[in-house]
Amino acid sequence: MNELFYTLFGQTMIFVLVALAAFAAGFVNAVAGGGSFLTFPALIAAGLPPIDANASSTVALFPGQITTGYAARDGLAAASADSRVNVPVLATISLAGGLIGGLLLLVTPQTVFSRIVPWLILFATAIFAGGNFWISDAKKFRLNQQGIFAAQALVAIYGGYFGGGIGILMLAALTLFGLREFWLMNSLKILLGALMNAAAVVTFIIAGLVHWQWTIIVAIGAIAGGYAGLHAARLVPAQLVRSFVVAVGLVLTVYFFTKPA
């Protein structure tokens, strides 16, 4: 009886952990970005292998991206009408890069991915923490048309493979390209991020990496958190949420570096 009680209690606590992580991920994605920092380790804690956890997290957070993209449709229309931005080419690059990144994840052995996870989280945390530096440094560097295409290709491949920090990377590249209208850049970032993840999502589903029980729980929690985040965005300073995400990233980096293989 005691063994059954402890088993049920443990399963309930894991469920609560994943649900809370999903809600928090949707919240921080709506305010500042970086929700995968929360859902990825929560799914590993639920017992999923690292690659499956990464794939399931990507699929679970995708519906929220679609919802956000719909809300940003005015900015996307403005970006499409801007002569400086070749949206069709960037969209095609994002789809292709996301597919390549997803396929690269499929051919990565679980043991290898487990070893590089701490480095991926550290890289994503550094990108996220240095977001202001990347964007403000645009006075020193410039990207031409070919440069922004190449930068987006690299971001898309990384996004399909892991994805942490892709929003900051895209905003930095667009700033280095010469754009300054944040609402237009952010809308374009949402579209391109959704496209690269769409390719990865299809790849992961076909490959059978998605654990649907946990994915659905995360998706529902993230959507609920996203709605809460949209309302809280006017009240909670984005920098406070960013600091929280960076702190989580640093804790996870230390944890995965010290976690026994």
pLDDT tens for each residue of 100-136: 999 999 999 988 988 888 888 888 778 767 655 555 5
Domain assignment of residue 188, yes or no: yes
Vertex 56: Cα angle to 51 and 57 (nearest 5) = 100
Q: How far apart are CA 67 and CA 55, in angstroms?
A: 20
- Give the chain's domain count: 1
Domain assignment of residue 244, yes or no: yes
Which secondary structure element, helix H or strand E, spans residue 39, and what is its range? helix 36-45
Question: Is-contact 188 174, C-beta < 8 A?
Answer: yes
Of 17-21, 151-155, 186-190, 200-204, minimum mean pLDDT range: 186-190
Q: 85: which 2 tokens?
A: 């931005």
Of 42-51, 99-108, 162-171, 207-216, minimum mean pLDDT range: 162-171
Range of the domain at 228: 21-258
Q: What's the gap between Cα 70 and its chain centre?
A: 18
Radius of gyration of the chain (CA): 18
Domain assignment of residue 11, yes or no: no
Domain assignment of residue 122, yes or no: yes
Question: Is-contact 245 34, C-beta < 8 A?
Answer: yes
pTM: 0.80
Band (pLDDT 50/70/90 cuts) for residue 2 is low
Cα 77 to Cα 71, 84, 149, 152, 166, distances in angstroms = 12, 14, 20, 20, 22
Band (pLDDT 50/70/90 cuts) for residue 139 is low
Q: 255: which 2 tokens?
A: 């944890």
Band (pLDDT 50/70/90 cuts) for residue 235 is confident
* pLDDT > 80? residue 242: no
Domain assignment of residue 3, yes or no: no
Which residue has better confidence, 4 or 109?
A: 109
Residue 105 has a pLDDT of: 93
Residue 122 has a pLDDT of: 84
* pLDDT > 80? residue 193: yes
Domain assignment of residue 171, yes or no: yes
The single residue listed with the structure tokens 């990233």 is 249
Which residue has better confidence, 91 or 226?
A: 91
Residue 67 has a pLDDT of: 77
Q: 79: which 2 tokens?
A: 């970006």
142-163: pLDDT as tens digits: 788 899 999 999 999 998 998 7
User: Among residues 156, 138, 162, which one has the least CA distance to residue 193?
Assistant: 156
Vertex 194: Cα angle to 189 and 195 (nearest 5) = 100
Domain assignment of residue 109, yes or no: yes
Q: What does the DSSP assignment read for 84-140?
A: T--HHHHHHHHHHHHHHHHHHHHTS-HHHHHHHHHHHHHHHHHHHHTHHHHHHGGGT
Domain assignment of residue 12, yes or no: no
Residue 5 has a pLDDT of: 53
Residue 164 has a pLDDT of: 76
